[in-house]
């Protein structure tokens, strides 16, 4: 199927699903992008008939009817009650495969066409259901380097190990995990599984995984237990209560005003011939402040804790090498 035809079909579905009215073929021709290019009436009706057949073959239910007794031609719409899927129960490996596929189905071109179709529909005076969900929407993107290897390990049923940065006490520890799944909760990504070090189920935030995720042993060794709700597990055990940690940094004299506003001066020190102050500030989740502190470049140097200092150095090295964290 060509891209133009796919976009036209998506626009047609959006149009027919977003209205409570029956829309005639001529009205659809003026609303849905792609039909106005037809060189003649016959060409439009042939294209429209092919598209209706295509939608029916795809299992999309088209309703044919008239809005009132005064209408002289039939119209079309899609009833949401027949279009929407019921509850789907996927096996763990099936869910992982779908999650991976979803990351690939992110098309700005189709998203723009979808929004344009809805705007044109409203502009034409069609009664649009305001509660209708967007059919084509941008999918969640994640910049966590650990996301892809962990998702692959879940699909393969393979044990992994990684270095994990704890916020309190601030330290770096190696974890060995039998991964059951990767989920997003409250804007953060977590991996859930059986922690071999603690011999208990645990979840780990992906943003705190440092370095590479290492595979251990053969594939097929990990199986997710039945009746385990990963999202519920993260919600009840992964929503950590924020703790406050004291961070000590060096800031060049007269620089890093944003850091200074949140800190107190506890001393002075020259570093590499540059005068500066020793600052102490209290941060919630200090590990997540690495990006903020790295933004000050050479004007700020993290002294304590070492885990935070290392995280800042990793970000600065990545910028110097042209990578993005």
In angstroms, what is the C-alpha Rg of the chain?
28
What are the structure tokens assigned to 221, written together? 């060794």
CA angle 290, 324, 321 (to 5 degrees): 100
CB 167 within 8 A of CB 221: no
pLDDT given at position 159: 96
pLDDT score of 106: 46
pLDDT at position 278 is: 94
Bridge partners, 268 (sequence order):
277
How far is residue 48's CA from residue 54's CA, in Å, rounded to a whole number? 10
Please give the pLDDT value at position 107: 44
Distance from C-alpha of 60 to C-alpha of 243, rounded to nearest angstrom: 51
The model carries a pTM of 0.38
CB 312 within 8 A of CB 296: no
> Which of 234, 11, 267 has the alpha carbon at shortest distance from 115?
11
**What are the residues facing 205 on neighbouring strands?**
190
Q: Which residues of the chain are under the pLDDT cut of 50? A: 102-111, 113-114, 126, 130, 132-140, 239-242, 324-325
190 touches 202 (CB < 8 A): no
């Amino acid at each position: 199927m060509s891209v133009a035809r796919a976009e036209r079909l998506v626009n047609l579905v959006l149009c027919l699903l977003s209205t409570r009215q029956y829309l005639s073929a001529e009205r659809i021709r003026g609303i849905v992008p792609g039909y106005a290019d037809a060189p003649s009436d016959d060409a439009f009706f042939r294209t429209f008939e092919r598209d209706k057949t295509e939608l029916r073959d795809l299992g999309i239910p088209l309703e044919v009817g008239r809005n009132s007794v005064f209408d002289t031609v039939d119209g079309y719409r899609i009833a949401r009650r027949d279009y929407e899927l019921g509850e789907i129960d996927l096996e763990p490996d099936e869910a992982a495969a779908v999650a991976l596929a979803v990351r690939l189905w992110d098309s700005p071109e189709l998203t723009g066409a979808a929004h344009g179709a809805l705007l044109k529909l409203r502009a034409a005076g069609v009664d649009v259901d305001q509660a209708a969900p967007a059919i084509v929407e941008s999918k969640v993107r994640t910049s966590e380097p650990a996301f892809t290897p962990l998702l692959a390990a879940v699909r393969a049923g393979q044990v992994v190990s990684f270095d994990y940065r704890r916020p309190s006490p601030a330290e770096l520890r190696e974890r060995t995990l039998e991964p059951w799944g990767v989920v997003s909760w409250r804007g953060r990504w977590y991996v859930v599984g059986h922690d071999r070090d603690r011999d208990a189920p645990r979840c780990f935030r992906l943003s705190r995984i440092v370095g590479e995720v290492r595979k251990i042993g053969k594939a097929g060794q990990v199986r997710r237990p039945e009746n385990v709700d990963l999202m519920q597990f993260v919600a009840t055990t992964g929503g950590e209560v924020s703790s406050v940690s004291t961070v000590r940094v060096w800031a060049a004299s007269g620089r890093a005003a944003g850091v200074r506003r949140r800190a107190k001066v506890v001393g002075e020190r020259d570093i590499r011939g540059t005068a500066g102050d020793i600052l102490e500030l209290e941060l919630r989740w200090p590990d997540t402040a690495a990006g903020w502190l790295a933004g000050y470049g050479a004007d700020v140097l993290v002294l304590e804790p070492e885990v935070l200092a290392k995280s800042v150095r990793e970000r600065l090295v990545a910028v110097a090498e042209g990578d993005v964290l």
